[in-house]
């Protein structure tokens, strides 16, 4: 993944979940491949992974591709994680069901999401309400992480993928 310099750009820093701690957890879980599309809440995380980690980023053009790539990596014996936004997760549902679950590939799905107050949700039909509900509605295990301390749930999710027959999701509220 390459990065362009943007003058006057201030990246998001992950106020609730430490991006550095997330990287450490993924490395400790033995993740070898991070299949991702960029998104603002984890911009610095991707840069850090690209520049200072053994985890290989595989950049996709559309999040659904990432689900199939993760399934293929898993079949080949690789340890893979999908990383995308809640909208990317919506986009990926067909591939998640028709490919990853159909072929029983188990890998980690990291969904960047945002919890918003009900009053704001009225004006925003997409954000913060559906990813976890959708995951659970299709029978996908889905854990939620709201603080750095809760990143242990990523480890739990990774453990569930071992010998699993479907991916395990974690919603990250950065």
Binding footprint of another protein on the chain (CB under 8 A) = 33, 35, 58-62, 64-65, 67-78, 80, 94-95, 98-99, 102-104
Contact 22, 157 (CB under 8 A): no
DSSP string covering 26-61: HHHTT--EEEE---GGGHHHHHHHHHH-SPEEEE-S
Q: How far is the CB of 118 from another protein (least distance, A)?
A: 35
Cα torsion angle, 146, 78, 105, 2, sign: positive
Q: How far is the CB of 88 from another protein (least distance, A)?
A: 13
Q: How far is the CB of 101 from another protein (least distance, A)?
A: 10
Which CB atom, from 39 or from 65, has the smaller least distance to another protein?
65
Helix (H, G, I), strand (E, B), or coil: what is residue 95? helix
Which CB atom, from 73 or from 140, has the smaller least distance to another protein?
73
Helix (H, G, I), strand (E, B), or coil: what is residue 170? strand
Which CB atom, from 51 or from 123, has the smaller least distance to another protein?
51
Q: How far is the CB of 60 from another protein (least distance, A)?
A: 5
Which CB atom, from 13 or from 98, has the smaller least distance to another protein?
98
What number of other Cβ atoms are within 10 A of residue 164's Cβ?
16
Q: How far is the CB of 14 from another protein (least distance, A)?
A: 26
> For residue 79, what are the β-bridge partners?
none
Which CB atom, from 19 or from 168, has the smaller least distance to another protein?
168
């Amino acid at each position: 993944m390459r990065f362009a310099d943007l003058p006057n750009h201030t990246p998001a820093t992950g106020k609730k979940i430490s991006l550095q701690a997330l990287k450490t957890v993924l490395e400790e879980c033995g993740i070898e491949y991070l299949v991702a599309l960029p998104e603002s809440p984890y911009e610095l995380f991707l840069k850090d992974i690209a520049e200072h980690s053994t985890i290989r980023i595989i950049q996709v053009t559309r999040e659904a591709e990432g689900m199939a790539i993760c399934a293929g990596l898993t079949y080949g014996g690789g340890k893979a994680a999908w990383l995308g936004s809640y909208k990317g997760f919506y986009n990926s549902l067909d591939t998640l069901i028709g490919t990853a679950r159909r072929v029983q590939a188990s890998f980690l799905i990291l969904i960047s999401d945002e919890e918003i107050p009900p009053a704001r949700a009225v004006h925003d039909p997409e954000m913060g309400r559906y990813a976890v509900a959708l995951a659970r509605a299709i029978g996908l295990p889905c854990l939620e992480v709201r603080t750095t301390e809760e990143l242990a749930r990523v480890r739990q999710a990774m453990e569930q993928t071992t010998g699993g027959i479907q991916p395990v999701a974690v919603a990250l509220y950065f």
